[in-house]
Structure 1
Amino acid sequence: MLPRFLTHALPRLTLAVLLPLCASCASPVAVAAPAPADLPTCLGNLADDAARTGLSGAAWRQWTKGIEADMSVLELLDAQPEFKTPIWDYLAVLVDEQRVADGQAMLQQWAAVLAPIAKAQGVDAATVVAVWGVESDYGRSFGKRPLLNSLATLSCFGRRQAYFRGELFSLVRLIDRGDLRSEGLVGSWAGAFGHTQFMPSTYLRLAVDGDGDGRRDLVGSVPDALASTANFLDKAGWVSGQPWGVEVRVPDGLDSALVGRRAKRPQADWAARGVKLVDGRPLSAAGLTGELGLVAPAGLKGPAFLVTRNFDAIYGYNAAESYALAISHLSDRLRGGSPWQTAWPTDDTGLSRLERRALQTALAARGHPIGEVDGLLGTATRRAIQAEQKRLGWPEDGRAGQRLLKVLQTQPQPSSPG
């Protein structure tokens, strides 16, 4: 999970989405470049601060010796995404048929591990596996950056040094106590890592030993990662047996000021205002308890949901309603549920990962140098999309949507790109 100060201004973009997107981020404001050679001196000066967290001087020197600066993380810290992500694009790639099928397979494969977790912590298996699927694609994508290098660099250079120093101290404590091995330890540029992408301080507080080996290893142990994710949600206020929420139909003219997960009201109040389940049944048929908030990520003309305390617990994992909706919807699909019934208010919806690969294939066939056909829309793919948009006379926003895919799959290929 990325630190909250990095997510408050945009929907949660997980490793499968954020890393290729940030390859196309705008350049940061020019500042005097710090010197990588200053890193050892900075780390040496942090020894006293590290000691106040319980780390001995010997441990601090041992685990920070030889760390190399990765100055590229400063560009990611300061940059803002160039391409804003509509909610229908965000969810199309995170909750596609491939992720649903893979997640259902994981539910079966790890059923013997998930059952006692659900019994002990009250969090159902589908929700836990949904977090796993969104965060690392079921362990396929941990991130590629050496974690100690990233956090040490962010602790000594750029903004938010105090925050990242706390994360670095937590990471070194985890290594020193034997929960983690430093060799090959990688993650996101901001420090999230493991199967369910915990930040080190969260790991230190909430990780649990799910396989009984005496270590809390969210990198090498799937049981530890699943149990720790359930523990996080439990501590965030999860109510056992309660759904996250339901899709609803709202009446025309409903006051938009009522929208927001925090603006909770009793179910009877929503019913009196004309809100019904999306299939037209009364709200009482859903079996929801407690006060409910109304979430409408694309406005009241798009899909709308009444959400419970459990939605808030998922939101606590990463502070974005779009992220909580992705986890919630994927968990429903893993249980055999259907896609949402209400259409998004657009005539050009997003692409699944399979469709993204099809788009890249079509672009490559037109001679665009996009690199590997992997479904990750990095800089080369965005530039190719912009070239095709220019050729078609469309706005050159670099967005990959259904409309462009259909055009490229049906139009004759030109002899050369552009």
Structure 2
Amino acid sequence: MITGLVRFAIVLIGVLLSSSAFAVSKAEVESQFEIWLANDLWPEAKSKGISKTVFDQAFSGVSLNFDLPDLVMPGEKPQTPKKQTQSEFGSPGKYFNDKTINAVTSGGTARAGQYSRILKAVEAKYGVPGEIVLAIWGRESGYGSVKIPNNAFTVLGTKAFMATRKDMFREELVAALEIVQRGYIGAGSMKSSWAGALGQPQFMPSSYLEHAVDFDGDGKRDIWNSVPDTLGSIAHYLAQYGWQKGRDWGYEVNVPANVSCALEGPDQGKPFTAWEKLGITRVNGKPFPSSETKREGFLLLPAGRHGPAFIVTKNFYVIKEYNMSDLYALFISHVGDRIAHGATGFSASWGDIGGLHRSDIAGLQRVLENKGYDAGGADGFPGFKTRRSIGDWQAKQGMAPTCFPDKDLITTIR
């Protein structure tokens, strides 16, 4: 008979053997990484004009970081994601909590005065209002106060070698080498987030090469330490994506009940006069600017009928190019208004919605797409395509369209 003590010893030996095997496995992977650097990545880097000196400097002391997310050990297949029973999608209103809003607003208001000369010069050159630039700076890195501790070549090297999207990270890794090759920053000073985003604006290396600027004129594009370079680079990014000088981002509005919430989206624009004819008005009672009369506006309902509504301009979608989230772009826009005009909160409140598992929303999206709707994929996030698909389906069932998922809808539509 196996005693409890013997059984414990057997389990302990198994754990030790397993740990030893895992340690050996890591060592083997590190060895494969070194071979990959020398025989695979270096030839490509050399073909892109990277010197051996820069290459060696970049990877001096670099080893794999096995704690990064979304890694796949060599020879293994990506694991099938488990059902997200614990991952909830909260109310969009949580994104606009007072603590975060107030922190970014107060920080931006203080810096609007501190850096007024630089901001005016940035706006004069790129056409992007200073308050929008400040809001992005504050959101991305807390105005430079957030620590960015990771060695970029450790992060990008690990992900380029063994991430689920390693081809994308390989391109970013080569771009990072180009940054050092051009002398913008030393290899040892290039710090990134855990995802490989660089500096105070949090640019990926390829975005850095395309959008970062030397606004202080010292010959370097230093988005790690230079405030002028940081502000200029953010504005240049938005300008290159088509920021329209002199236009606002949008306006909070009242949408009559008889106007379908399924009219939302950047592909369903109408002249501002057309929205007015539908009975849509600004919540502050003012008319839309006369300069917008014949220009195109777009309905935005981030929470469907359960929250504030907006008519936005193309500039809203330029902000969204910085982060492909309606809530992110609205956060930046709203904080910008607060910095510039001392604006308060939204007129309409966010409804008591959310609490669904992302897997439930993804399942709903798959059902909608099987029924012929374009829900924008099954990612578990209710973007505008999902919201308006819900509204269209509800209307066809004779229901009052809400354009947002809830528990009853998930049960009904299935």
Cα offset, 1:132, TM superposition: 0.1
Contact 2:91 2:353 in 1 (8 A): no
Change (3 A) 1:131 1:138: same
Moved more, 185-194 or 132-141: 185-194
Cα offset, 1:284, TM superposition: 4.7
What is the letter of the counterpart of residue 316 of structure 2?
F
Alpha-carbon displacement from aligned partner over 1:296-343 (angstroms, at most 9, x marks no partner): 100123101111111111011111111111111110010122211111
Once residues 101 and 65 of structure 1 are traced to their aligned partners in structure 2, the CA distance between those partners, rounded to angstroms, is 41
Cα offset, 1:242, TM superposition: 0.4
Alpha-carbon displacement from aligned partner over 1:158-195 (angstroms, at most 9, x marks no partner): 31111101111111111222212233432211111211
Cα offset, 1:274, TM superposition: 1.1
SS at match of 1:240: coil
Contact 1:206 1:228 in 2 (8 A): yes
Contact 1:130 1:327 in 2 (8 A): yes
Partner in structure 2 of residue 327 of structure 1: 332
Cα offset, 1:267, TM superposition: 0.8
| Residue 214 in structure 1 maps to residue 214 in structure 2 | no
Once residues 182 and 288 of structure 1 are traced to their aligned partners in structure 2, the CA distance between those partners, rounded to angstroms, is 51
Once residues 354 and 300 of structure 2 are traced to their aligned partners in structure 1, the CA distance between those partners, rounded to angstroms, is 22
The two structures have a TM-score, normalised by structure 2, of 0.72
Change (3 A) 1:82 1:36: farther
| Residue 337 in structure 1 maps to residue 325 in structure 2 | no
| Residue 49 in structure 1 maps to residue 44 in structure 2 | yes
Contact 2:58 2:188 in 1 (8 A): no
Equivalences for residues 109-188 of structure 1 within 5 A: 109-188=114-193
Once residues 209 and 113 of structure 2 are traced to their aligned partners in structure 1, the CA distance between those partners, rounded to angstroms, is 29
Contact 1:142 1:195 in 2 (8 A): no
Cα offset, 1:122, TM superposition: 0.7
Alpha-carbon displacement from aligned partner over 1:208-265 (angstroms, at most 9, x marks no partner): 1011100001001111010011000101100111000000000003212201133211
Instruction: Please point out which of 100, 104, 107 is paired with 1:102.
Output: 107
| Residue 35 in structure 1 maps to residue 35 in structure 2 | no
SS at match of 2:144: coil
Cα offset, 1:94, TM superposition: 7.5
Instruction: Please point out which of 305, 314, 327 is paired with 1:309.
Output: 314
Once residues 338 and 293 of structure 2 are traced to their aligned partners in structure 1, the CA distance between those partners, rounded to angstroms, is 19
SS at match of 1:324: helix
Partner in structure 2 of residue 8 of structure 1: none
Equivalent pairs counted in the alignment come to 318
Once residues 58 and 125 of structure 1 are traced to their aligned partners in structure 2, the CA distance between those partners, rounded to angstroms, is 40
| Residue 298 in structure 1 maps to residue 303 in structure 2 | yes
Contact 2:62 2:153 in 1 (8 A): yes
What is the letter of the counterpart of residue 62 of structure 1?
Q
Unaligned runs of 5+ in 1: 1-31, 350-418
Unaligned runs of 5+ in 2: 1-24, 73-77, 356-414
Once residues 170 and 92 of structure 2 are traced to their aligned partners in structure 1, the CA distance between those partners, rounded to angstroms, is 33
What is the letter of the counterpart of residue 276 of structure 1?
T
Contact 1:296 1:305 in 2 (8 A): yes
Once residues 107 and 94 of structure 2 are traced to their aligned partners in structure 1, the CA distance between those partners, rounded to angstroms, is 20
SS at match of 2:220: coil
| Residue 68 in structure 1 maps to residue 74 in structure 2 | no
Once residues 343 and 95 of structure 1 are traced to their aligned partners in structure 2, the CA distance between those partners, rounded to angstroms, is 17
Q: Which has the higher contact order (CA 8 A, sep 6+)?
A: 1
Equivalences for residues 250-289 of structure 1 within 5 A: 250-284=255-289, 287=292
Contact 1:88 1:344 in 2 (8 A): yes
Partner in structure 1 of residue 9 of structure 2: none
Equivalences for residues 373-392 of structure 1 within 5 A: none
Moved more, 59-68 or 322-331: 59-68
Partner in structure 2 of residue 23 of structure 1: none
Once residues 76 and 329 of structure 1 are traced to their aligned partners in structure 2, the CA distance between those partners, rounded to angstroms, is 36
Once residues 295 and 135 of structure 1 are traced to their aligned partners in structure 2, the CA distance between those partners, rounded to angstroms, is 23
Once residues 105 and 284 of structure 2 are traced to their aligned partners in structure 1, the CA distance between those partners, rounded to angstroms, is 23
Alpha-carbon displacement from aligned partner over 1:70-118 (angstroms, at most 9, x marks no partner): 1111348987893434311112168522221111001111111111111
What is the letter of the counterpart of residue 67 of structure 2?
S
Asked which structure has the greater CA Rg, the reply is: 2
Once residues 289 and 105 of structure 1 are traced to their aligned partners in structure 2, the CA distance between those partners, rounded to angstroms, is 37
Partner in structure 1 of residue 195 of structure 2: 190
Instruction: Please point out which of 91, 107, 123 is paired with 1:86.
Output: 91
Cα offset, 1:127, TM superposition: 0.6
Contact 2:90 2:353 in 1 (8 A): no
Partner in structure 2 of residue 365 of structure 1: none
Over aligned residue pairs, what C-alpha RMSD do you find?
2.5
What is the letter of the counterpart of residue 106 of structure 2?
A
Percent sequence identity over matched residues?
34
Structure 1 runs (4+) greater than 3 angstroms displaced: 74-81, 280-289
Change (3 A) 1:171 1:129: same
What is the letter of the counterpart of residue 47 of structure 2?
R
